[in-house]
Every structure is written in structure tokens, then in C-alpha cells.
């Protein structure tokens, strides 16, 4: 497979896709992704925190360690010794920092709400504000928890999404909030659609729209892409 280097048409001739059509095209190419890869809603939260700045394969090792040490519950993590916790999650990188983030999240949920179900009960904007107020939870982590653990329709933006959106010329927007607004204002509010869309972006970025040398010749979006061959 060789990366395509010559554009078949100029950027000016390409009309930006509507996000709805982009979803349909990606779904037709890759099918349902069955995200998030976790056994419970709590594991989704833990994974969303641990996956910051690291590959998912490293997160899986860290979660396996937590499970083996019987630390993979809200109360166990809230009460865990921080050094022991850091040792368990070492494969995920930034382990001292992330141990603190995990404890912050779990202590907040246990202390303020008692259970994850109670924590997830408020409406999306209220819960999102609360999540963002926990030290270590940024917008991408908050939206991942909202969408994949709480089942609320909050569109997730990540580096893969930004890469594909900018290459396709869908939007020039650089900020997290601006890109989130771009999608949420153009799509029906639908948790299942948002769930699938984010997973499809990740799949497309990992399989075809690679960072350094995208496989444009193999791409299902090549006809509409403004970046092709650039």
C-alpha cells in the first residue's frame, strides 16, 4: 500500500462534507465499533483518566493490575494508598500524576454522591461542570466519561478528530470548545450517534488517516478531502 501523493482535483473544487454524510461514509467503511472497550461504567471512567497522553494498550495493562490488586472499585480507589496506586498504573505513564487524578475523581464521587449512579443523575451541563471542576479532568476526559459511562450526548473531540476535520477542510476551528460546538450544532442530539462517531474517527485515523503519511489512496473520503496529496 502506497501513500497517494498527487491530488486528482484542486481544493477549491471540493465542497466540505456535512458531518452527517461524514458519519455515514465512515460507518459504511468500518461498521459498528462497539465502544467503549471496558466491562463497566466505572472502568470507562478509570480508562478515560488513564488514557491521557498514552496508548490504549498501556491503559489495558494498568487496568489489569488494578483488577488483580482488587482496586478496581470506586471505594477501593478512593481509599487506596497513592504510592501503591501509582505502582499499579505505571504502564499508563505519568503514574504519580494519574494516581492523584484517579483518587481526586473517586473521592469526589464517594464524598459528594456516594455512588456512580447518583453522580451521573444530574443533567448533562451540570454534570459536565462538576466533572471539569475535579483536578485532572479536562474537556476530553469529561466528555468521554459523559458519553461512554454516563450515556449522555456530549460530543468528544480528540487529536484524531482534529486531524481528520482539518484535513477534510470541514472547519478551521482549532479550539476544543469550537470543534465540539461545530458537531453538536450540526447533528441531532443522539448519544448513540455521538458514541459511534468518535469511535469511527479513531478507527479512521489509526487505519488510514495516519499522522505522518496518510494512506489517501485507500481512503473512503478521498474525493471530498482537501488535504489529499498535500
Residues that bind ligand SF4 (CB under 6 A): 164, 167-168, 208-209, 214-216, 219, 221-222, 225, 227-228
**Minimum CB separation from ligand SF4 for residue 229, in Å?**
8
- At its nearest, how many Å lie between ligand SF4 and the CB of residue 5? 11
State the nearest-atom distance from the C-beta of 124 to ligand SF4, in Å.
Answer: 30
Rounded least distance, CB 56 to ligand SF4, Å: 21
User: Closer CB to ligand SF4, residue 44 or residue 221?
Assistant: 221
Could you tell me the smallest distance in angstroms from the CB atom of residue 45 to ligand SF4? Answer: 31
CB-based contact 97:136 (threshold 8 Å): yes
Between 1 and 135, name the residue whose CB sits nearer to ligand SF4.
Answer: 1
Cβ nearer to ligand SF4, comparing 138 with 169: 169
Closer to ligand SF4 at the Cβ: 14 or 124? 14
CA dihedral 115, 67, 153, 106 (to 10 degrees): 40
3-class DSSP assignment, residue 84: helix
- Enumerate the H helices of 114-175 as residue ranges: 116-119, 124-132, 139-144, 159-168
Quote the Cα angle for 121-125-130, to 5°: 70
Residue with smaller CB distance to ligand SF4, 122 or 169: 169
The phi, psi pair for 108, rounded to 5°, reads -65, -50
Q: How far apart are CA 85 and CA 73, in angstroms?
A: 12
Cell readout for 174 is: 482549532
Amino acid at each position: 500500500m502506497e501513500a497517494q501523493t498527487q491530488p486528482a482535483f484542486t481544493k477549491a473544487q471540493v465542497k466540505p462534507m456535512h458531518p452527517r454524510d461524514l458519519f455515514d461514509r465512515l460507518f459504511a467503511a468500518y461498521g459498528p465499533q462497539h465502544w467503549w472497550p471496558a466491562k463497566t461504567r466505572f472502568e470507562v471512567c478509570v480508562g478515560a483518566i488513564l488514557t491521557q497522553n498514552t496508548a490504549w494498550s498501556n491503559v489495558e495493562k494498568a487496568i489489569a493490575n488494578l483488577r488483580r490488586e482488587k482496586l478496581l472499585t470506586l471505594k477501593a480507589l478512593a481509599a487506596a494508598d497513592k504510592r501503591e496506586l501509582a505502582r499499579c498504573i505505571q504502564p499508563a505513564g505519568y503514574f504519580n500524576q494519574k494516581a492523584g487524578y484517579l483518587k481526586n475523581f473517586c473521592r469526589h464521587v464517594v464524598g459528594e454522591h456516594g455512588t456512580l449512579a447518583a453522580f451521573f443523575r444530574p443533567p448533562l451541563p451540570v454534570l459536565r461542570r462538576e466533572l471539569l471542576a475535579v483536578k485532572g479532568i479536562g474537556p476530553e476526559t469529561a466528555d468521554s466519561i459523559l458519553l461512554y459511562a454516563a450515556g449522555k450526548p456530549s460530543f468528544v473531540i480528540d487529536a484524531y478528530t482534529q486531524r481528520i476535520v482539518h484535513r477534510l477542510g470541514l472547519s478551521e476551528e482549532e479550539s476544543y470548545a469550537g470543534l465540539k460546538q461545530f458537531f453538536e450544532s450540526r447533528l441531532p442530539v443522539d448519544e448513540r450517534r455521538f458514541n459511534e462517531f468518535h469511535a469511527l474517527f479513531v478507527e479512521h485515523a489509526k487505519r488510514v488517516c495516519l499522522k505522518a503519511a496518510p494512506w489517501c489512496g485507500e481512503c473512503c473520503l478521498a474525493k471530498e478531502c482537501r488535504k489529499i496529496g498535500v
